[in-house]
Structure 1
Amino acid sequence: MAEISNSLWNDDITASHYREETAPYQAAVFEQYKLCVEMADRVSARRNLANTFFLTLNSGLVAFLGAWLSQPQRRGLSVLLLLAGLLVLLAICVAWWFTVRSYQQLNDGKWKVIGALEERLPTRAFSAAEWKALDEGQDWRVYLPLTHVERWVPLIFAGTYLLGFAALAL
């Protein structure tokens, strides 16, 4: 956290324009803090939108393949065509998994900055108090981080595809 604090604070601005105890300085810090919290919230909203996109894409492709394969004239598909469909679906799952991971990393960085900003505010509502109230994510019955669940979804889809396509190939 010290490394983030060192890169967060602009010593030139503090020394030449404000004194840390002054109301304008505190107001500027608080405005930047509010902006950072808002941006972290927007990242979460974009992450939800990305998850919806991948879920819709997977559902649409599976529905299309199911409808296509249910037609009698297409039941004797070549293994090569089935393999191509499987590879496309698995590639989508891999992209989904990496997207969730990327959003998690981005949010982790944003919350570290928010924590560093809270060092100059009267309370540390998010970085310390809320995290403590959630048992720091150590007990899943108190708090199960959403990213832990999100990262399993593409893996479950991929496993289901592998099983389903193996059953079709038999």
Structure 2
Amino acid sequence: MADLHHSLWNADVAPDSYTPANTPYLGVLFEQYKLCVETADRVSARRGAANTFFLSLNSAIATAMVGGLGPRPGRVSVWLLLAGLLILVGQCAAWYLMVRSYRQLNTAKWAVIGAFEKRLPAYAYSRAEWTELGEGEDWRRYVPLTRLEQWVPPLFVAAYLVGFLALAWAP
């Protein structure tokens, strides 16, 4: 937190450096705070769009593969199936890493928002909302979305592995 404090606040600008003729210090601070909250929300929206993209891509590829196998899947080359499996697993790995990256980015953004709230009258997000949600520790109150969405790519990989094994040894 000390590093965040050092990297966030400009030592050349202090509350008393603003005069009544200028914008009040708290006004400027609040505008920056609102911008930080807005960009954190945008990251969440981008994460949702990325998840939609990968879910659609997985569904399309899996459908095309199953549909392309025809009535006798056992006649498809194991090497062709393996190539498809590797592509799908690689794409799921990229999906997982993107989810992880978005989670890390938002964690940093919310830490900055919390630091801003230390200079504002209320701790709306960093304390009040998070406390109300049980800090994500009680699954009956709140389960953070990133904890759920991180499981989707590995579940697809498991399904692909089962499908590969079933097709590879189909009669």
Please classify the TM superposition score into its range, dividing by the shorter chain length: over 0.9
Aligned to 1:151: 150
Aligned to 2:162: 163
Deviates more, 1:105-114 or 1:135-144: 135-144
Aligned to 1:67: 67
Report the CA distance between 1:18 and its aligned residue: 2.7
**Structure 1 ranges of 4+ moved more than 3 A:** none
TM-score of the two chains, using structure 1 as the length reference:
0.93
Q: The residue matched to 1:60 in structure 2 has which SS?
A: helix
1:153 and 1:76 mapped to 2: Cα distance?
30
1:5-44 counterparts in 2 under 5 A? Answer: 5-14=5-14, 17-18=17-18, 24-44=24-44
> Gapped runs of 5+ residues in structure 2?
none
Aligned to 1:53: 53
> Gapped runs of 5+ residues in structure 1?
none
- CA-to-aligned-CA distance 1:31-70 (integer Å, 9 cap, x gap): 0000000000000000000000000000000111011002
- CA-to-aligned-CA distance 1:57-111 (integer Å, 9 cap, x gap): 0000011101100255x75121111100000000011000000000000000000
The count of aligned residue pairs is 167
1:15 and 1:114 mapped to 2: Cα distance?
19
Structure with the largest fraction of helix: 1
2:137 and 2:61 mapped to 1: Cα distance?
37
1:106 and 1:116 mapped to 2: Cα distance?
16
Report the CA distance between 1:169 and its aligned residue: 0.6
1:41 and 1:165 mapped to 2: Cα distance?
39
Aligned residue type for 1:105: Q
Report the CA distance between 1:123 and its aligned residue: 0.1
Report the CA distance between 1:147 and its aligned residue: 0.4
TM-score of the two chains, using structure 2 as the length reference:
0.92
Identity %: 56
Report the CA distance between 1:5 and its aligned residue: 1.8
Aligned to 2:139: 140
Q: Is the 8 A contact 2:15 2:25 kept in 1?
A: no
2:39 and 2:71 mapped to 1: Cα distance?
48
